Amino acid sequence: GRVEVAVYVQGPAVLALAARPDGLVDEEHFNLYLPLLQQTGRRLYVPANAPELARLGGTPWQFEPLDLAQLAALAAQSNWVCVF
């Protein structure tokens, strides 16, 4: 079967969702995998109160803001949670 993948980015990683992110470590991975995630309907989440959202400007990516309670609920219903 298929694996359901949800990605949650926080802190400075939120800025990787900018239309033109500059200076990312492993930028080629973001350029490869973010479009793949979106094209396959995978979910992308950010903290609802992330201060980086104000600095994000335009973004080509669809994402959903989550508060801590929503993040906890998402993690609780998941089979695996990986934190990097």
Note the pLDDT of residue 84.
64
Note the pLDDT of residue 64.
95
CA distance 38 to 40: 5
Instruction: Write a three-state SS string for the chain.
Output: CCCCCEEECCHHHHHHHCCCCCCCCCHHHHHHHHHHHHHCCCEEEEECCCCHHHHHCCCCCCCEEECHHHHHHHHHCCCCCCCC
Note the pLDDT of residue 83.
75
Note the pLDDT of residue 65.
96
Which residues of the chain have a pLDDT value below 50?
Answer: none
